Structure 1
Amino acid sequence: MKLRTRICKKSSIKSVETSPDAGSNNTQSSQNYPLSCVDWSSNEEIYFVSDDHQIYKWSDVSRDSVEVAKLPDDFIPTDLHWLLLGGRSSGGGKGSDTLLISSNDGRFIILNKSARVERSISAHTAAISSGRWSPDAAGLLTAGEDGVIKIWSRSGMLRSTVIQSDESIRCARWSPNSTSIVFCQGGHISIKPLAANSKLIRWRAHDGLVLSLSWSQQSNIIASGGEDFRFKIWDAQGANLYTSSAEEYAITSVAFNPEKDFLLIGTFNMLKLCHSTGWTYNSARFTAPSVGSFYTLAWSADGTQVACGSSTGQLIVAYAIEEQLISRNLKATSTSRKSIALKDIATGTQDVLDFPQRVINMALGYGHLVVATTHQIHIYNEKYINTPIIIDGRNDVRVIEVGKKYFMVLDAASIWVYTYTGRLHLNPRYPGSQAQLPLLNWRSLSLGLDVLAIRDNSDTTVLHLFDLMPGASRQYEPHSLRAKQQLSEIAACRAGTADDQFVAFIDGNRELYICETRNLSTERISNNQDEIYKIGTQLTDIKWASETNILVGVHDACYSIWYCPGEGASDPTIIALTTITLDTAEFCKHVAIDSFEDAVITFRCAGALLPLNVNIHCEVLHRSLLEGQWQQALKICRLGQHASLWATLAAVATRKHQLQLSEEAYSAALQIDKVSYLQHLKTLTPSSAEQMAENSLMLGRMLEAETILMHNRKYIEAVALNLRMHNWKRALEIAQKHEKEQLTDVNILQKVLDERRRYLKALQRDEWEAVYLAYSTQDDKDDLND
């Protein structure tokens, strides 16, 4: 990955005394003002202003700058920020964009796109260091050298004063969800949540002054640059995640990419492109001509370009090239803004793909390369590189994710799921989806084999699941899962069959859960009884294998491989037998999963790629089970003779009602209790309701077992099932409802009451359940009458 830059000609800010043309390159008799106010009004236009009071617009199409308006002579700008109401990727709707400019005399002005001043407000008693629109476009903040931070409405009405101190504030930024503000004072950084009665988080960040801040919209982490020549990365609680080595000069600006895991660092005569975890991709130095320190960095909304303002008044536009994607035998490398080199590593052949428009996103996988330009999507099949399928009308694509059958696209308008033939398969929508669209990112979406998972941004504990099977009822009415904590990462499995689909997610406590996506009945939804199982703790990253239902996850100092996370989730014993945890002491910090293709896991650590193999026997076993080759799977387990193999086979065979295989596998895995239970199952009538219910119960599906018995009018068995599970309320409810529907002489209500009495007698306790107290009172009355 490299950073390619160009100094935009005809863009230097000149002294107003000589009044040269804005397009002049003659700098000998004029003084260049520092350029500290730069921002993108769209993906092709940059607005900038300096101490000469003139607002300029530079176009990526014409490669020229023109004067847009002139500010009052007593208004010296300190910050500039565009509000894009049409979404941060769309460049805003026509006539809906608003420009915020703050000054060093405590004022800020709000202008429309035609540069007419809508409001001019005196906000602070000293210079305003930061003026920023909130990400949700509901208001703006101003932070000043008078130590005050204020929040204003979009029309410029004061809402609240959140910070009042005696120490000047140099920089302030919004959190991605607009619920907190981070700001710096001296060498300290503070986070102020806007919720009522919330406490301020403050810590010492740098040895010198903190000069710049940026809050990532992708990872919810904070970057800071200081006079101590270092940049640092923090989490939202102030814990240090990364500290750079000392640079030659102070770090004057930092900026996270809005769409990718990039962090751009600006210092004297140098730009450095880093990963969001801190390690460096590439550095671009400017020595001839010298550009000075970079005061401001502004990424375009699509994340492909960045505008940089320097202390010598020069505007520099940069974009990342040589971004590489690798999948099996294919490697795609962006060689310029409009070309990609696709190489077949196995044969050594290479094709250069040229595009008429700027490439803004791409994805590679399952033998296909999907490339998004500013207005089109190009679909390349590795076997037919010269004849791509082109989809028109998809503007500013922000996320592309490829799957085995489909690929998913998130653009400025909506979410789209296409087949590789270019046919639109699904345009999913859920309540509030249009309002949340600008806040969605690649961490909020996951495309599986036959399911699309979307995290709800208005309530981050909710996960929407769209069924991608043709004709599925949930294509437009998704099922919604609700977790106990907010979700930080989601992953839908990419392989398996239509009946074996799972979604895994990491919550705010870094705990890993898994849930089945099939059999999500209306009854389970209404009772909020989705079977979500916890299978891991302290996870930072997860990824499913491309061809099998094997899951890998990274912890702080180790990584784990779950060979049977789906079928074994309900049984902690099976999870323990099929989970392998290995140390990462030989790795560096901040290990991430780059890919999981076939049986090879590729970790990325400090920029290096580290490939590792999973147990090949388990990988081949999963493929055999996927094809229903039970005898072949049995041979693999006998050959490998490992507990994880037998436990995987046992869990899958039990799920598929292969009881004979399950018994042998559990026996080989030394699970004697399960062998005894399976022998009991074999005594029941094959394929009867009782056997199916007992099999579901063994898989941990209590509700499914009860439903099978109830649908077959086995009410006594359903009551007995709940009594065995000590589900007393449900047992009494079934007995009361179906007491008169029994064909036998057994009084199921009396049976429940008798079991409850024996249970209380064993515990030596009095009745405490309200539903049973009524019957206890009635029995006491009957005894008195007798």
Structure 2
Amino acid sequence: MSSLCMVWSYALEKPHTGSVFSLAWSADGTQLAGACGNGHVIFAHVVEQRWDAKNWNTPLIFDLKEGSVSLILQTERHFLLVDGAGIYVYSYEGRLVSTPKCPGMRTDILNAQTVSLSNDTIAIRDKTDEKVIFLLDALTGKALGDGKPLTHKMEVMEIALDQCGMSTDRKIALIDKNRDLYLTSVRRFGREQKISKIGTMVHTMAWNDSANILCGIQDDSFTVWYYPNAVFIDRDLLPKTLFTKDASEFSRAPHILNYVGTQVSVRRGDGSLVYSSVSPYPALLHEYSGSARWDDALRLCRFAKDQTLWACLAAMAMANKELTTAEVAYAAIGEVDKVQYINSIKDLPSKESSLAHTLLFSGHLQEAESTLLQAGLVYQAIQVHINLYNWDRQKFLQDFGKKETNKRFLQYSEGVEVDWEKIQAKVEMELAKERERAATTSVRSSMASRR
């Protein structure tokens, strides 16, 4: 006989296996194994939970237009409900927040894989064209930005919005027909949508409820992307921010139900529930980064002695323009060239040039150029393009005795008179103005601090 108790008995089973000589719980306390007298081993798992609290409020009851509810999604601030009549967003006080609508929407085919909800955004995959994802404001139900939906190059099978952070930084993860995992920003601000691949052969995924950490089952491994946003900051860092382990315990056709705290709930193909634990340190690092507690973040990484955490911190620091912390983190993972580049950024005389080269570090060439031009640093903007493009073509033409055929190059080479003395004088003038402006800014800031 085996009995599950906590002060009083919750469940009682009498298996026909003889006496139970030994019992052992799994690490997460949800599964039980017992060694029996007839040589059998019994297995059990907790199928129900009992919640006990002293501050339950009186439940709010409100009528629905149609009672056939097919889907409920929850976030911290509100929940989404789907029935035969439409989609509704309610607050937890029972107040109707919005009624989102999409062209050609059919509520009877919506499910948790084709609809996603965050505190400020709703994402719905189009049924007519499965490459299209509608992005809506959760508070108004209207389309975000210019109203244009997100369009992928291939049919989308599953979508998921991250749950934390500001609405301007909201990200959406999607799995397409090839089982490739992509990440992109929800809000574009007039820029071209940049969709970056972060995984392959991904069958199911889920975002953490308290930090922007993504987990998924990738081929035959369970993978956690501790900082998926690294793909937009320093793509080389992304593989170093991953945690992977064997996924054989999940059996065939598993589906991730949720990722709450440090525990991932997975439904196996046979219907049973399996739980997997994830390190609490990455979520803590996200918390420190979000509140600009960089000293605490450094102490955490030194305590944990984990290269994955150092890689996450390097990307987080660069995303927040925290160069000193980024320098320490890159040094910890042996990225010497990037440490040298960060040092060169710190030595730049003005904030504008420093910001531009930080943007350049993350591959944002257009934004870096705009920053320099707005500050009047034309020479530096030109120099950025010179450093990025391949100027070996001139040597190639000279070695093979060929002539330039680029029409634009020929046009400007004939129509523009090159006076190197004037060019050098303008360069020196711009550099002098930048140093003077940086010195003036430094004096003003020191006077303000004294006051």
Q: TM-score over 0.5 for the alignment?
A: yes
Report what 1:429 is aligned to.
Answer: 101
Which of 407, 410, 416 matches 1:776? Answer: 410
Confirm or deny: 8 A CA contact 1:514 1:569 kept in the other structure: no
> Which structure: greater strand fraction?
1
Which of 661, 664, 673 matches 2:337? Answer: 673
The amino acid across from 1:644 in the alignment is T
Structure 2: tracts of 5 or more residues without a match: 1-45, 417-451
SS class of match (1:454): strand
Confirm or deny: 8 A CA contact 1:647 1:669 kept in the other structure: yes
Report what 1:445 is aligned to.
Answer: 115
1:497 aligns with 2:131: no
Report what 1:660 is aligned to.
Answer: 324
> Which structure: greater helix fraction?
2
CA deviation after TM superposition for structure 1 residue 589, in Å: 1.3
Confirm or deny: 8 A CA contact 2:118 2:161 kept in the other structure: yes
CA deviation after TM superposition for structure 1 residue 463, in Å: 2.0
1:485 aligns with 2:154: yes
Q: How many residues align?
A: 370
Closer, same or farther in 2 for the Cα pair 1:387/1:702, shift >3 Å? same
Q: Select between 630-639 and 578-587 the one with higher mean Cα deviation.
A: 578-587
Report what 1:540 is aligned to.
Answer: 203
Closer, same or farther in 2 for the Cα pair 1:717/1:777, shift >3 Å? closer
- How many Å separate the matches in 2 of 1:541 and 1:413? 29
Closer, same or farther in 2 for the Cα pair 1:682/1:774, shift >3 Å? closer
Q: Which runs of structure 2 are paired with 1:187-206 in the superposition (5 Å)?
A: none
CA deviation after TM superposition for structure 1 residue 508, in Å: 1.1
Q: Select between 454-463 and 592-601 the one with higher mean Cα deviation.
A: 454-463
- How many Å separate the matches in 2 of 1:433 and 1:486? 17
Confirm or deny: 8 A CA contact 2:71 2:112 kept in the other structure: yes
Confirm or deny: 8 A CA contact 1:545 1:551 kept in the other structure: yes
Closer, same or farther in 2 for the Cα pair 1:765/1:676, shift >3 Å? farther
1:513 aligns with 2:182: yes
Q: Select between 694-703 and 529-538 the one with higher mean Cα deviation.
A: 694-703
- How many Å separate the matches in 2 of 1:711 and 1:558? 48
- How many Å separate the matches in 1 of 2:158 and 2:236? 26
The runs of at least 4 consecutive aligned structure 1 residues that moved more than 6 Å come to: 470-473, 762-769
Closer, same or farther in 2 for the Cα pair 1:587/1:398, shift >3 Å? closer
- How many Å separate the matches in 2 of 1:759 and 1:418? 66
Closer, same or farther in 2 for the Cα pair 1:553/1:708, shift >3 Å? same
Report what 2:87 is aligned to.
Answer: 415
- How many Å separate the matches in 1 of 2:226 and 2:213? 5
Q: Which runs of structure 2 are paired with 1:322-471 in the superposition (5 Å)?
A: 331=49, 343-344=50-51, 347=52, 383-390=55-62, 392-393=64-65, 395-430=67-102, 432-434=103-105, 436-468=106-138
CA deviation after TM superposition for structure 1 residue 561, in Å: 0.7
Confirm or deny: 8 A CA contact 2:100 2:141 kept in the other structure: no
- How many Å separate the matches in 2 of 1:704 and 1:385? 51
Which of 280, 286, 301 matches 1:622? Answer: 286
The amino acid across from 2:72 in the alignment is I
Report what 1:709 is aligned to.
Answer: 372
- How many Å separate the matches in 2 of 1:490 and 1:768? 49
- How many Å separate the matches in 2 of 1:684 and 1:391? 63
The amino acid across from 1:596 in the alignment is Y
The amino acid across from 2:161 in the alignment is A
SS class of match (1:577): helix
Closer, same or farther in 2 for the Cα pair 1:608/1:768, shift >3 Å? farther
CA deviation after TM superposition for structure 1 residue 715, in Å: 4.5
CA deviation after TM superposition for structure 1 residue 325, in Å: 9.8
SS class of match (1:590): coil
Report what 1:139 is aligned to.
Answer: none
Q: Select between 540-549 and 558-567 the one with higher mean Cα deviation.
A: 558-567
- How many Å separate the matches in 1 of 2:326 and 2:199? 25
The amino acid across from 2:87 in the alignment is I
CA deviation after TM superposition for structure 1 residue 392, in Å: 4.0
Report what 2:6 is aligned to.
Answer: none
Confirm or deny: 8 A CA contact 2:327 2:342 kept in the other structure: yes
Closer, same or farther in 2 for the Cα pair 1:778/1:535, shift >3 Å? closer
The amino acid across from 2:369 in the alignment is E
- How many Å separate the matches in 1 of 2:284 and 2:415? 67
Q: Which runs of structure 2 are paired with 1:204-283 in the superposition (5 Å)?
A: none
Q: Which runs of structure 2 are paired with 1:59-138 in the superposition (5 Å)?
A: none
SS class of match (1:540): strand
- How many Å separate the matches in 1 of 2:325 and 2:356? 19
Confirm or deny: 8 A CA contact 1:767 1:773 kept in the other structure: no
Report what 1:636 is aligned to.
Answer: 300
Which of 207, 223, 229 matches 1:566? Answer: 229
CA deviation after TM superposition for structure 1 residue 777, in Å: 6.5
- How many Å separate the matches in 2 of 1:493 and 1:773? 48
1:582 aligns with 2:245: yes
- How many Å separate the matches in 2 of 1:446 and 1:401? 8
The amino acid across from 1:507 in the alignment is D
Q: Select between 638-647 and 457-466 the one with higher mean Cα deviation.
A: 457-466
Closer, same or farther in 2 for the Cα pair 1:463/1:691, shift >3 Å? farther
The amino acid across from 2:149 in the alignment is S
Confirm or deny: 8 A CA contact 1:466 1:479 kept in the other structure: no
CA deviation after TM superposition for structure 1 residue 412, in Å: 2.6
Report what 2:447 is aligned to.
Answer: none
CA deviation after TM superposition for structure 1 residue 623, in Å: 2.5
Confirm or deny: 8 A CA contact 1:569 1:575 kept in the other structure: no
CA deviation after TM superposition for structure 1 residue 760, in Å: 5.7
- How many Å separate the matches in 2 of 1:452 and 1:486? 19
CA deviation after TM superposition for structure 1 residue 638, in Å: 0.9
Closer, same or farther in 2 for the Cα pair 1:666/1:767, shift >3 Å? farther
CA deviation after TM superposition for structure 1 residue 475, in Å: 4.7
The amino acid across from 1:459 in the alignment is D
CA deviation after TM superposition for structure 1 residue 718, in Å: 3.8
- How many Å separate the matches in 2 of 1:582 and 1:409? 35
Q: Percent identity of the aligned residues?
A: 28
CA deviation after TM superposition for structure 1 residue 562, in Å: 0.6
SS class of match (2:222): strand
- How many Å separate the matches in 2 of 1:763 and 1:399? 68
Closer, same or farther in 2 for the Cα pair 1:479/1:511, shift >3 Å? same
Bigger Cα Rg:
1
CA deviation after TM superposition for structure 1 residue 399, in Å: 1.7
SS class of match (1:443): coil
Closer, same or farther in 2 for the Cα pair 1:477/1:776, shift >3 Å? closer
Closer, same or farther in 2 for the Cα pair 1:709/1:676, shift >3 Å? same
SS class of match (1:552): strand
- How many Å separate the matches in 1 of 2:125 and 2:371? 32
- How many Å separate the matches in 2 of 1:715 and 1:423? 54
SS class of match (1:628): coil
The amino acid across from 2:361 in the alignment is M
SS class of match (2:202): coil
Report what 2:277 is aligned to.
Answer: 613
Q: Select between 760-769 and 627-636 the one with higher mean Cα deviation.
A: 760-769
- How many Å separate the matches in 2 of 1:778 and 1:621? 52
Report what 1:25 is aligned to.
Answer: none
